[in-house]
Structures are given as structure tokens and as C-alpha cells.
Amino acid sequence: MKVFKADLHIHTVLSPCGSLEMSPGAIVKAALRKKLDIIGITDHNSTRQCRIVWSEAKKAGLTVYPGAEVTTKEEVHCLAFFENFEKLDEFQLFLDANLPDIKNDSELFGYQVVVNEQEEIVYEEEKLLISAIDKSIDQVEKEVHRLKGLFIPAHVNRSKYSLISQLGFVPPDLKFDALELTKHQDTASFLKSWPYLKEASIIRSSDAHQPEIIGEAYTQLLMADKSFNEFAMALGNTGGREVIRL
């Protein structure tokens, strides 16, 4: 077993709130500077930049778990990760079908572009990606798990766009794989406020929108290797794999 350092919540140039400096190459370089082993790519309601980041990261020996940060009907932000691009593409169809047809105003919200390895724009998303999709958190969870993905409510300690801020609590019947905290909250103090969540796997991530923020918060995963299956086992605290609480 080995401890791997992971920042599992990183935005790219595709997210309207993401800096245009967040190109695939810049993300990989920043992650390596912070000595990360694994990163999660989680743009708002889109997976379309994941492939290029994965490709650039692979050249550098950095592992990418591809996914998205979904905004549910309740305006709860949730991370979803998938093992392969076949599942990722199927989830993209789900997102496309349920994202409302609200046009992005790039001057107000920022650009929403996909870039290639040369940082050339190859696609621009017209719909506003920070809108809430037309599916509840339960429906999103079920779709993620139908595709054998991993479902993690994001930054649950935040006062906006979190499971706790929007619903007031973590529903006992919600089948999440872990909960995420921001860099401003440690696990011990969080559990003092929410002791009924003491059995949950809890990760911490940077939610980086600029390269320099990558790795400011991270998760330590005790696993045999960096495969997606090992990641799932660590979140499930099975087979000696675990999330090391920070």
C-alpha cells in the first residue's frame, strides 16, 4: 500500500468561473509542482475538457479521474467521477439533455471553451454551464451510480451551493460515496458540528479556478495503485484502502 496525494476538484478553461490560464498543460504543470499524484477534473456541468487534460497528464505520469461538478435542481454542487470515457460520454448526454437552454454571457460570466494540446480553442459552449440542471440530487446520484461512477457532494461546509446549505442536512438515504470539504475546514472540526456523519469518507479539495490554487487542499488516499477501482475501494474503506483524515 502507498499513500497518494490527490486534489479532486479542479476547474479548467471550460468553466465560466475558471481562469483562461487553466489550460490542460498549465493544470498538469501546477499539479506536478505541488507533488500531486492524482487530480480530478470537474468543470461545471460538462466533461468536455477531460480527455485533453487526461492525455497531457498521462505524458507526465499524473493520473486524472475524469468527471464533472453537477449543479442539481436544488442548486447543490456534486462531484461525479467515471472510470472510462465511454461512461463519461454517456454522462455528458445526460447533462446535455438536462441543462436549460440559457445562453452564456461571456462578458458577465466568463468564457466557456475547450482547448487542445496547443491551447487552441476547438469548441465553445453556448449554454450557461453554471445553471442548475433539471434533475434532483437523488436523480443525479442514481444516474452516476447507474454508470458505475462515484458520487461526492461538493464543499458541504460552504454556506452556498452545498448539500447542507441548500437542504439543511445530509439526507440519511442519499447514497454518496464521500463528502467533500473545502480547504478552510478540517475533518475533525466539521465532525464536531455534524457528528452523525462520523462514518462517512471525507475528502478535501482545492476547488481550483486558477493554477496557483491547485493543491492548496488535498486528500491522502491509502491504495495499492492509482486505478479507479482502488479509488472506489478507498472511498468505501474496503480491503485495507482508506481516505486518511486530515
pLDDT digit string, tens, across residues 137-146: 999 999 999 9
pLDDT at 13: 96
Instruction: Taking residues 66-93, report their average pLDDT.
Output: 98
Given a cut of 90, whether residue 70 has pLDDT beyond it is yes
List the grid coordinates of 228: 479507479
Cα 195 to the center of its chain, rounded Å: 25
pLDDT band for position 19 (cuts 50, 70, 90): confident
pLDDT at 245: 87
DSSP state of 195: G
DSSP state of 165: H
Backbone φ, ψ for residue 117 (5° rounding)? -65, -25
Instruction: Taking residues 60-83, report their average pLDDT.
Output: 98
Given a cut of 80, whether residue 206 has pLDDT beyond it is yes
* CATH class of the 2-244 domain in this structure: alpha beta
pLDDT at 89: 98
60 exposure class (CB count in 10 Å sphere: 0-12, 13-18, 19+): exposed
How many CB atoms are closer than 10 A to CB 42?
A: 31
Instruction: Taking residues 17-44, report their average pLDDT.
Output: 95
Given a cut of 90, whether residue 18 has pLDDT beyond it is no
pLDDT tens-digit readout, 149-191? 999 999 999 999 999 999 999 999 999 999 999 999 999 999 9
The C-alpha atoms of residue 9 and residue 79 are separated, in whole angstroms, by 8
pLDDT at 17: 81
The C-alpha atoms of residue 127 and residue 103 are separated, in whole angstroms, by 5
The half-sphere exposure of 14 on its side-chain side, counting CA atoms within 13 A, is 29
pLDDT at 20: 82
What is the pTM for the complete model shown?
0.97
Instruction: Taking residues 193-200, report their average pLDDT.
Output: 96
Backbone φ, ψ for residue 156 (5° rounding)? -65, -15
Element (H, E) at 140: helix 137-146
